[in-house]
């Protein structure tokens, strides 16, 4: 499970992990957020509000972030290992259902996050206080913390060290 603030690199790391581990199934969160220009759908399933309402009852958790709805679908995939990206605020319910869950907080210094968000045209999420609070929450909840200023390969290697 990857948690972290906007711009921390959760989706980038999830893509790299699934490339390295073909047996890993990436679980996409369901969201009403519009797709960003050039964004792939490998970490999110983009839906309309009406479609989201159909997913709500079956979701493990639902939350709003910057006015958009997000839901985490069920994670029961038998013996297939799964990974997903989440906001730290919804982690409590997931840990209740999956106590053996390994959580990795991904972060970078707030000025770096703001720069990344500006480069991708996501200025509404570039709020220093919100980013700092999410970093702090992630540090308290995670089994491992990664600074994503390190190369992706280094971060992936550190995540794999946790792999059962």
- Domains annotated on the chain, with CATH: 2-162 (3.30.63.10)
Upper half-sphere CA count for residue 158 (Cβ side, 13 Å): 18
pTM of the model: 0.81
Upper half-sphere CA count for residue 104 (Cβ side, 13 Å): 25
What is the residue-level pLDDT of the chain in tens, covering all 164 positions? Answer: 888 898 999 889 988 988 888 888 888 888 898 888 777 767 788 999 999 999 888 887 788 888 889 888 876 655 556 677 677 767 777 788 778 888 899 999 999 999 999 998 888 889 999 999 999 999 998 999 999 999 999 999 999 888 76
CB 63 within 8 A of CB 89: yes
CB 53 within 8 A of CB 42: no
Neighbouring CB atoms inside 10 A of 9's CB total 23
CB 33 within 8 A of CB 48: no
């Amino acid at each position: 499970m990857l948690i972290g603030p906007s711009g921390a690199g959760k989706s980038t790391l999830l893509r790299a992990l699934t490339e390295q581990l073909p047996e890993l199934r990436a679980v996409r969160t369901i969201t009403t957020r519009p797709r960003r220009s050039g964004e792939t759908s490998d970490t999110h399933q983009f839906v309309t509000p009406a479609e989201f309402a159909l997913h709500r009852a079956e979701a493990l958790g639902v939350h709003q972030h910057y006015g958009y709805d997000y839901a985490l679908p069920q994670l029961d995939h038998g013996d297939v290992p799964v990974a997903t990206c989440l906001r730290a605020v919804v982690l409590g319910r997931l840990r209740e259902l999956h106590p053996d869950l390994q959580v990795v907080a991904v972060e970078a210094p707030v000025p770096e996050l703001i720069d990344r968000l500006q480069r991708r045209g996501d200025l509404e999420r570039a709020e220093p206080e919100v980013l700092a609070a999410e970093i702090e929450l992630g540090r308290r909840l995670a089994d491992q913390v990664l600074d994503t200023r390190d190369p992706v390969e280094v971060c992936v290697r550190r995540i794999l060290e946790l792999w059962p």
